[in-house]
Each structure stands twice: as structure tokens, then as C-alpha cells.
Structure 1
Amino acid sequence: MKLYGSQTSPYVRRIRLFLADTPCEFIRLNILEGADRETLAAMNPTLRVPMLVADGNVIFDSGVIFRYLVAKTKAAVKVEALSWYQENQLTVINAVNDSLVMLYQCSRSGLDTNDDKLFFNLQRERIATSMYVLEQQAANAEFANWNYPAIALYSLLDWILFRELLELDEYPALLAFIDQQQQQPMVTESDPRLT
């Protein structure tokens, strides 16, 4: 198996963390330019990472990759598919992640994301309401097990801190969650600060 992605992507990181105990070659790409961009374009029409190559298949998107890996490993190891509640948790995590990625890209493109514009306002509203829900779930210890939703949450939160996208002081349960997960397998090797 080969996992293609960038060191800084929280979506790539969640797959790397999920695969921590599984042999998989990580191929780091600079997805914004040069030969790495051409490699990505030749294999993946969405031009996004992560991308997994396994058993002759090229699989796009972290969610699809996760489902593929669960299906492939079910017989070998006890890996359970997500419950509907966990799917909803993942949807909330993805909503924050997607909105922050869009705002980050807009900011890097020279746009003032603090402007009172519909697009920016909708993203900020989605982030605020979703972060509130995640804080309550973390306070209820709903991410106590190191499963895929917890891995996705950790990847998101550490990326937020790395990119300095939000102040997390008003989310003490989420900050405690980050601290509790520092010793998990592959956390150090997948740190976005290692670019």
C-alpha cells in the first residue's frame, strides 16, 4: 500500500494515524506545484489528498479510504464500521475542517476572511456551532477510545493549533483531549510541524 499526501493535511494525517500499525509507504507530495502536482493530477482528478494505492486500486478521499481499509481488514483484525452516531460525529469534525480549509485558502489568496460577507459568515457560523458540539462531546468523554472519530478530531485540532486558525482556550475539554493523545502511535511522525 502507498498513501500519497502532504505532511500538513489533517485529512492525510487521520489516515496515517489509523494505519499506524499497518505497513504502508507514505509518499509526501507538494500538491500545489511542480512534479508532485503533476503526479497527483495524473492519478486523481479531484487534485486532493489523501490518495491510497492498494491492490491495483487508486482510492480518493479520507472517508472512502477509511471505509476501504475497514473492509480490507475486517477479516484479519477486529475493526468495526462506524455507528450512525460516530458517522455524525465525523460529519461535524469534517464540517469544521472543511470550513477552516476554505477560510485558510481564502486568506492565503489575499482575501480578508473577517469581512462581513455571506461565504465567510457561513463558514464562521458552521465552525462555531460545530466546535461547541465537539467540546460537549469531548467533555462527555465520547472520544475516550482511540478510534477513527477520535483520530479525525485529534488531526483537526492539532492542525488548528499548527496553522493558528482558532483560539482553543474556550474549549478546555478539547484541549485536554489533545494533551491526552500525545503518546498515540504515529502522532510524532505525522506532526505537521515536520515539514
Structure 2
Amino acid sequence: MKLIGTLTSPYVRKVRVVLAEKKLDYRLELDQVWSDEATIGRSNPLGKVPCLVLDGGDAMFDSRVIVEYLDTLSPVQRLIPASGRERAEVKTWEALADGVLDAGVLAWLERNWAGRSDGERSQAWIDRQLGKVRAGLRGIDQGLGDKPFCTGVYLSLADVAVGCALGWLTFRLPELDWRSEHPNLARLYDKLMLRASFIDTQPRLQ
């Protein structure tokens, strides 16, 4: 398998963490999706990463779709329950973590995208998105409480998604200082950062 992505994308990181936890072999192909020379469009018409190219050339995209597929490939470290309420709970955690990221990315792009001049940027839009980030973090922190992991005593995709969101916020929006405001999240992230899958996939500029 080939994974097309960047070293800064939290959605790509989510897939890479799952690949590592599942002990699956793959090749990472880096692509600058904002560059005129980007090649991602050959595999994903939306021009977005992550994109998983399977043997034979078929492509799979959207991190939620990819990680669900990957979890079926090996019985090692099952991250998504097979069915029922437990499955829905894990997927809801993932949706919340991804929603925090979606809002954070929109805020960061509004502030930093080179395609806009300073006069074209909307602080009201940035503030609105950051408000969603803060509300999402409060919800995650309250839901986690004093549990070892998001859904109980075992690592699941919920923790992977939350950890990738927190890592990206630290990388791109450090002024939010989520650690001091949400000690439960800080405790979880510190625990996740002891795992090789998280250590090896920390976001960095290419």
C-alpha cells in the first residue's frame, strides 16, 4: 500500500498511527497539496490527503474511511468495535476530534493562507472557528474525565483521533494553551506520546 500525504496533516497522522498500531506495511509518499506541482489529483480528484493507494492502483480517501478499512486488515490492536453502541461511541469520539480539527484548520488557513492579503482576512471568521475548537475541547475533556482512555481502559480509534487533534493544535495553534485549560487531555496526550506510533508521526515541516 502507498499512503499519499504530508508530515503536517493531522488526518494523515491519524492514518499513520493506525498503520503503526496495526503493524501494517506501507510506503509514505509526500506531496505538497498546495503547490502547483502537486500530484495528489491523479489519485484523489478532490486534491486532498490522506489518500491510500491499494495494490492494483485503486485509491481510497478520507481518513475516516481509510482507518476503518485498515482496522479490518489485521486482528492486531483492534481499534474500532465491530458493531453496536460501542462502535458508535468510538466513531462519535472520532467525529468530535475531527470536528475540532476542521475548525482549527479553517482558522489557521484564514490567518495564514498566502492566497489572501491581510486586508482580506476575517478575524470574525477566525474567532468563530476558534470558538468551535474551544467548545470541542471542553466536550472531549469532560467526556474523558478520569478514564485511562476515551472509551474506557483500552486504546481505541477515539484516542488516536483525539491525540492527533491535540498534536496538531500544539503544532499550529500553540496560543490556545489547551494543556493548562484541560488537564485530562494533557494526561491522555502525555500517555499517547509514550507510544512509538505517536512519537514517530509528530507533525513537522517537510
Q: Which runs of 5+ in 2 are unaligned?
A: none
Q: Quote how far apart the aligned CAs of 1:67 are.
A: 1.8
Larger displacement relative to structure 2 (41-50 or 64-73) = 64-73
Shift of 1:176: 1.2
Could you list the per-position Cα deviations for residues 149-170 of structure 1 after superposition, in whole angstroms to 9, with x for gaps in the alignment? 1011111101111113522111
- 1:126 deviation in Å? 2.1
Aligned pairs (5 A) from 1:7-86 = 7-20=7-20, 21-35=23-37, 37=38, 39-56=39-56, 57-73=58-74, 76-77=75-76, 79=78, 80-81=81-82, 83-86=87-90
Question: 1:95-125, CA deviations, whole angstroms, 9 ceiling, x for partnerless residues?
Answer: 1010001111111134555x3x3x4454233
For 2:97 and 2:158, locate their aligned partners in 1 and report how far apart those are by CA, in whole Å.
Answer: 8
Q: How many residues align?
A: 188
TM-score for the superposition, normalised by structure 2? 0.82
Q: Secondary structure at the match of 1:187?
A: helix
Match runs of 1:1-195 below 5 Å:
1-20=1-20, 21-35=23-37, 37=38, 39-56=39-56, 57-73=58-74, 76-77=75-76, 79=78, 80-81=81-82, 83-109=87-113, 110=118, 112=121, 115=123, 117=124, 119-141=125-147, 142-143=149-150, 144-165=153-174, 166-168=176-178, 169-193=180-204, 195=206
- Matched to 2:90, the amino acid is Q
Structure 1: state its 5+ residue gaps: none
Q: How many percent of aligned residue pairs carry the same amino acid?
A: 26
**CA RMSD, aligned part only?**
2.0
